[in-house]
Chain A
Amino acid sequence: MTVLEDLAQPPKVEVRTRGISRREAWQRRMPLLPALIYIVVVTQIPFLVTLWYSFQNYFFDVPGGAHWTGLSNYKAVFTDANFRGALVRSVVMTATAVIVAMILGVAFAILLDRKFFGRGVVRTLMITPFLVMPAAAALVWAGPMLDPNFGLLNWLLQPFGVHHVAWLSTHALGSVIVVMIWQWTPFMMLIVLAGLQSQPPDVLEAAKVDGAGAFATFGELTLPHLRPYIELGVLLGAIYLVNVFDAVRLMTNGGPGTSTTNLPFYLYQQVNYAFDVGGAAAAGVVTVILTIIVATFALRMFARVFQFEEAKG
C-alpha cells in the first residue's frame, strides 16, 4: 500500500529488521495476533456473508430460505430511487454537519483560547453536548426542545416572530442536521483548541511586534498551523457522522416521507420492515464499495496528519 508510506515514525527502540531471525519475527508478531484475528473474524466475516447474501433472494418472512438470484438484487438497488435518495441525503447531511460543526468549532476554540473569567466552566459546558447519549439527545430535541406546542425553542424564538413551528414536519432535514451539529461542534472545538494551544507563543509575539493585525496573524500563521488539526477533525467527524442513525430513527423516523432517510436508516428499514436481507445486502455492498473509495483518500489524509503529529513529538 503506497498510501501508507508517508507515515514515517521511527519506533523508539531501534529495529534491525534485516537482521532479525525468523523466530524473532514470529515472536514479535505473537502479541499482535489475538487482536488481529479477533478483528478479522468479527469485522470481515459479516462483510463476506453480506457479499454472499447480495446474490441471494432471501426474505425473513418468506419460508424456504435463501436461493441464488444472480445480479437481480443489484439491479434493484441501482434502479431504486429511495437508495439513490438516501445516498445523496447521507452525503448532504454528513458534509453539512461536518463543515458547519468545524466552522463553529474553530470559532469557539478561538473564544476559549483567550483567558477570561470561568474559562474552565465554559469549556465544560461546551463539551457536554458531545457527551450526551445520542439517543437521549435525539429524544430530548424531538420532545422538550422542538415540540410545536410546548417546545423551548419556539418559546425562545417567539420575539423573532416564530409561532409554534412544527420543526420536525416542516424542517425535518434541517432539524436533524442541527442536532448533529450540536453534538459534534464540541468535538471539533476540542481538537482545534488543542491545535491553538500547541502554537508556539513566541511566533505570535513576533508577529505582534512586527505589527501584524489580528486577521493577518490568524490567516497566515494560525490557520496553516491548524490545518492538520482541522483535517483530523473533519476526517474523524465524517467517519462517525456518516453513520448517524439515532437522530434519524428517533426524531423523524426517516420522514416525513423519505426526507430524512439516510443510508443507515434505509438499510435498517430494508431489514426490519421489508425483511429483505438480499436487497439490504446488495445495498450494503454498494455502500461498502463507495466507502472504500472515500476511505482510500481518507487514509492518505490520515497518514499525512499523523506524520505531522508524530514528527513533532
Chain B
Amino acid sequence: MTAVPVRAREPGPQKFREMSGKVGWGIVAWVVGIAFFLPVAWMVITAFKPESAAETWPPKFVFSPTLAQFRLVFSGMGPFLTHSLIATTVSTLLVLLLGVPAAYALSVNPIKHWRDGLFFFISTKMLPIVAAIGPLYVIAVHIHLLDSIWLLIILYTAMNLPLAIWMIRSFMLEVPSELLEAARLDGAGRIREITGVIMPVISPGLVSTSLICVIFAWNELFLALNLTVTNAATMPMFLISSVPQEGLYIAHLSAAATVASVPVILVGWIAQRSLVRGLSMGAIK
C-alpha cells in the first residue's frame, strides 16, 4: 500500500475545493428545504399526538402516537368532503368543456382579435372578486343559490377558466401543423379536429390544466366562507369549524389540516413538472 504515492490518489487542491464547495452548497440546500418543510412536518407530527401532548413546553418530540384525532376528524368531515369533491370536480370539468373550444378559437383556428380575447380573459383574473362580495351575496339570495353547491361551482369555474384557456392554448400551439393539415385534407370538421386530432395530442396538457384547477378550487376559502353555511360548506370551512371557542384543540386542528391538505400536496408532488407550466399559465415550458 505504501508503495503507491499518496499524492496521486488525493484529488488536487483545486478539485478538492470544488468538491467540498459542491457538498457545502448541497448541505445548505438541504437545510433550506427542511426548514421550509418544517411547519408541514410539525403539522403532521402534531396530528398524531394526544391533545395533552400537543400543548406542552418544551414541545414534545417523543410521544405515543394515536389515531384518535384522525378518527374524530373523519367522523365529522363527511358532508364537507362531499361538497369539496363535487365543487372541485364539476367546476374543473366545466372549465375543460368551455376552455378547450375557447383555446382552439384563440390558437389553432384563431379569430381576428385573438390577442384582445386572451387579454380580456386574463384581465378578469386581476379584478378582485372581494370587491363584489356584498352584491354577490345579494345576487345569490335573489337567484336562490345562497348556500348551494352550484353557486360555488359557477364561481370556481369562472375563477379557473381564464388560467385554463391560456394554458390549453399554449399546449394547442404545440400540435404539429402537419397533423392539422392532414386532418383538414381528410375533410375533418372543426369538432372532429378538436376531439379527434388535437385532444389526444394535448391530453397530458389537459391533465396538468385540470390539476391546477383542482388545486385552486380545493383550497378556496373566501367565497365558501361568504356564500355558504352548511349545505355547501367545503373542506376549508371544515378546518375553521375544527377550532373551538375553548378547550384544547391543537392536535385536532393539526389532524384536520393534514387531512384537508394531503390530497393537494400529493397531486402537486406527482405533477411537479407541469406545475410550473400551469402556474405560469403556459408561459414556461
B-binding residues in A (CB < 8 A): 1, 3-5, 7, 9, 11-13, 15, 17, 25, 27-32, 34-36, 38-39, 42-47, 49-50, 52-53, 108, 111-112, 114-119, 121-137, 139-141, 143-145, 147, 149-152, 155, 182, 185-187, 190-191, 193-195, 198, 229, 232, 236, 239, 242-243, 245-246, 249-250, 263-264, 267-268, 270-272, 276-277, 280-281, 283-285, 287-288, 291, 294-295, 298-299, 302-303, 305-306, 309-310, 313
A136 and B125 in contact (CB under 8 A), knowing A49-B135, A116-B22, A118-B30? no
Q: Is the CB of B250 within 8 A of A143?
A: yes
A-facing residues in B270-285 (Cβ within 8 Å): 272, 275-276, 279-281, 283-285
Q: Which of chain B's residues have a CB closer than 8 A to the CB of A126?
A: 32-33, 36-37
Q: Is the CB of B219 within 8 A of A291?
A: no
Q: Is the CB of B59 within 8 A of A288?
A: no
Chain A interface SS verdict (over half): helix
A-binding residues in B (CB < 8 A): 22-23, 25-26, 28-30, 32-34, 36-40, 42-43, 46, 54-59, 98-99, 101-102, 104-112, 114-139, 154-155, 157-158, 161-162, 165, 173-175, 177, 180-181, 190, 194, 215, 218-219, 221-222, 225-226, 235-236, 239-240, 243, 249-250, 253-254, 256-258, 260-261, 264-265, 267-269, 272, 275-276, 279-281, 283-285
Q: Is the CB of B23 within 8 A of A131?
A: no
Report the Cα distance A184→B128, complex, angstroms: 19
Q: Which of chain B's residues have a CB closer than 8 A to the CB of A114?
A: 22, 25-26, 29
Q: Is the CB of B32 within 8 A of A111?
A: yes
Report the Cα distance A39→B95, complex, angstroms: 11
B110 in complex: contacting residue of A11, A108, A128, A133, CB < 8 Å: A11
Q: Which of chain A's residues have a CB closer than 8 A to the CB of B261?
A: 131-133, 136
Q: Is the CB of B23 within 8 A of A31?
A: no
**Closest chain A residue to B43 by CB distance?**
A140
Closest CB-CB distance, A267 to chain B, in whole Å?
Answer: 5
Q: Which 6 pairs show the lowest CB-CB distances between chains A and B?
A: A116-B26, A284-B131, A31-B101, A35-B102, A32-B105, A136-B257
